[in-house]
Amino acid sequence: MSTEKHIYQPNPKFAKDAAINSMDAYWKLQNKAIEDYEGFWKGFADEKIDWLSAYNKVLDESNAPFYKWFTEGRLNVSNQCIDRHLADKAHKTAILFEGDRGEVEEITYAQLALHVNRMANLLRHEFNVQKGDRVVLYMPMIPEAAYAMLACTRIGAVHSIVFGGFSSEALKDRIEDAEAKVVITADGAYRKGKPYMLKQVVDAALEQGGESIEAVIVVKRNNEPIEWVEGRDHNYNALIESQHSECPFELMDSEDPLFLLYTSGSTGKPKGVQHSTAGYILWAQMTMEWVFDIKDDDVFWCTADIGWITGHTYIIYGPLAAGTTTVMFEGVPTYPDAGRAWKMVQDHKITQFYTAPTAIRVLHKMGEDEPKKYDLSSLKILGTVGEPIDPPAWKWYYETVGNSNCAIVDTWWQTETGGHIISPLPGATPIKPGCATFPLPGIMTEILSYDGVVKKASEPGLLCITKPWPSMIRNIWGDPERYVKAYFSDVEKDGKAVYFSGDGAVQDEDGYITIVGRVDDVINVSGHRMGTAEIEAAVKKDDHVAEVAVVSRPHELKGESIFIYIVLKEGHINKNIKEHINEVLCSEIGNIAKADHIIEVPGLPKTRSGKIMRRILRSIAKDEEITQDISTLEDPSIVEEIIKKAREA
Ligand code: WT7
């Protein structure tokens, strides 16, 4: 049976108790949203959110595309995620932490409350962090990272988490863009049995800039020696014990910013995606209930890092708002061997497992039969996110990991969408592998042309979200013009700008949506988003470089890899060019920006007006035949030379 053609029906035993248990139930919800959009959202907002003061309007479109949801409502996300559960879930495990070296710590909702209250008091009273202040987190995957996030939400501070793989330069840029007041970090943590360090990256960032930072709070995790800047650096472990165990939370407005998260776009500078309080937490919680079908005794594991949106929404905010047990893992799923993840599923009786196709491909390659060595019968739902999942990976995930019993939810969404947008519902949607299927109830997607015409079945087009939704991006921090330009200026429908995702997609005869991939200059390496312009800007900082062009090349495990063409200035570097440029990328952006291919070429293919013909460079990187007319190039012979160089590489 070919995986591509076969349709996988929901497991009837599972569907029986599922939150949305049939396509009829799906359509009932979706039709309600189509008929009465605000009424649909009002019903869920009233049911799910612990409002501390009522909102007066569901959706305010008067200043589109700066949409507002649940205006004038008051709530607090740390209350939604912790306090309101204490009546009946105080002794339930909120966070199940497993360290790299295998130690396990179970933190109940009551203990979580204590940690978060203390940390909130620490920030508020020792460091004068006020509502609206920005706090940067540069942290490993340890429980204190969760406490820090929730402590910020408690006092109304806006956190901005910078993934630990970013360099000091990237960290500095993000601190400066957000004008943050405090950095919370750790000495380091453990990975693959060894300590690694983070604090020194913060030190370097603050040597280079980041003037707005008044204090650095350091959690001791691995106790490796670190430098200490007197007056600036503070020891979390020493200060936290004496903090009062109760910290009253701020009453936050529905639209107050909850957090910033920087992501790459098609220009050189990363964008500070700004999320809201009420709309974000509502959808985080609802998608836990619909897509992951969370039940009382479930143990939910999302393998992302908290430095990405997946970690925000599906390790911390969604699971805790839904009152579930969320697994937080410090290490990597391939250490000490390719069975680590499956051993964790067995040990903790994990019910939902959520990861990226790149991780599935790696685990598959390293240990095809490894899942069979463990008891994985607790699993009900398997999730994937970040990039399209290819048929072999899908099949292995479904058959070998899920024992042909678990629905695979292929969730399409983005940093900007806050939560899932298109995904199968595990108890309802007949699944076509590799296909994100249908928009969730309440979400209106359309596949359009640039002039807003709806594409016919099997015609690829631009994936747009045509109505605002509660968890959508609210702004780009400090740059409202860029917000409008990046998301609401490419596609107009019926005279109104609609949200364009940057992805291409296609719908089949049955309405199933398949994601084709980015149509802009953003590439996806192991599920991490990188802007080619951002990489080019970093490479250009090197004095030896005259010209640079960055494209992507398909990669067996990573999905895509970075391919760089470089024209050097007069004279040359007496170093290996690949090593040299990768050093530049590591220091400007971080390890995640390392390129697999870097080739020196005599020139770039340009039109007579000087425009770089990137399509030619993309074809060469993919080793595809060049179909474009190259006779109009300024110097057509350059193409042959580039092809030769690329083949040698
Ligand atoms: C981009 C968003 C959302 C969390 C992870 C990445 C791609 C995401 C899928 C999927 C095909 C996907 C898109 C999207 N993407 N999920 N299920 N199938 N592609 O978040 O860094 O904001 O990247 O990831 O291209 O635009 P992100």
Predicted pLDDT at 410:
98
For strands 597-600 and 545-555, give the pairing. Answer: unpaired
**All structural domains of the chain with their residue ranges:** 7-18+277-436, 49-95+108-272, 463-475+490-516, 521-648
Q: What is the pLDDT of residues 520-566, one digit of tens each?
A: 999 999 988 999 999 999 999 999 999 999 999 999 999 999 999 99
Per-residue pLDDT band at 573 (split at 50, 70, 90): confident
Mean pLDDT, the chain, integer: 96
**CA 484 – CA 359 distance, rounded (Å):** 34
d(C-alpha 312, C-alpha 473), whole Å: 14
Beta strand 215-219 with 93-98: parallel, antiparallel or unpaired?
A: unpaired
8 A C-beta contact, residue 567 and residue 149:
no
**Which of 503, 516, 525, 560 is the best mutation target for the ligand 1 pocket, counting ligand atoms within 8 Å of the beta carbon and taking the most?**
503
What is the mean predicted confidence (pLDDT) over 153-178? 98
Could you check whether 7-18+277-436 and 49-95+108-272 share the same CATH topology?
A: yes
Q: Mean pLDDT throughout 280-291?
A: 98
Model confidence at 2, in pLDDT bands (50, 70, 90)? Answer: very low
Instruction: Judge whether 414 and 464 are in contact, CB under 8 Å.
Output: no
Asked if 481 contacts 390 with a C-beta cutoff of 8 angstroms, the reply is no
pLDDT tens figures, 480-524: 999 999 999 999 999 999 999 999 999 999 999 999 999 999 999
The yes-or-no verdict on residue 5 having pLDDT over 80 is: no
- What CATH number is given for 49-95+108-272 in this structure? 3.40.50.12780
- The pLDDT of 312-328, averaged and rounded, is 98
Atom 23 of ligand 1 has which residue's CA nearest to it? 414
For the segment 29-36, the average pLDDT, to the nearest whole number, is 98
pLDDT at 628: 84
pLDDT average, residue stretch 70-89: 98
pLDDT of the residue at 58 = 98
Burial class of residue 118 in the structure, from the number of CB atoms within 10 Å of its CB (0-12 exposed, 13-18 middle, 19+ buried): buried
- In the predicted model, what is the mean pLDDT of residues 310-337? 98
The two tokens of residue 639 are 């193409």
Indicate if the pLDDT at residue 470 is higher than 90. yes
Is 515 exposed, middle or buried (CB count within 10 Å of its CB: 0-12, 13-18, 19+)? buried
Mean pLDDT of 283-296: 98
Q: What is the mean pLDDT of residues 309-315?
A: 98
pLDDT score of 1 more than 70: no
The structure tokens listed for 379 are 């699993």
Q: Going by CA atoms, what residue is nearest to atom 24 of ligand 1?
A: 386
- Alpha-carbon dihedral sign for residues 235, 240, 243, 246: positive
Q: How far is CA 412 from the centre of its chain?
A: 11
Cα four-point dihedral sign 538, 500, 460, 34:
positive
CATH superfamily of 7-18+277-436: ANL, N-terminal domain (3.40.50.12780)
pLDDT at 4: 52
What is residue 131's three-state secondary structure?
Answer: coil
For 521-648, CATH gives 3.30.300.30
Residue 266 has what pLDDT? Answer: 84
**Residue 413 Cα, ligand 1 centroid: separation in angstroms?**
5
* CB 514 within 8 Å of CB 506: yes
CA–centroid distance, residue 439 to ligand 1 (Å)? 14
The angle at the Cα of 238, spanning 232 to 243, to the nearest 5 degrees, equals 100
Ligand 1 within 6 A of CB of 529: yes
Helix (H) or strand (E) holding 566: strand 559-568
Interval 38-62 mean pLDDT = 98
C-alpha pair distances (Å), 363 with each of 43, 371, 384 = 42, 9, 14
Distance of CA 314 to the CA centre of its chain: 10
* Nearest Cα residue to 4 out of 508, 447, 428: 508
The confidence band for 3, taking pLDDT boundaries of 50, 70 and 90, is very low
195 is written with which tokens? 């300590």
Give per-residue pLDDT as tens, 38-48: 999 999 999 99
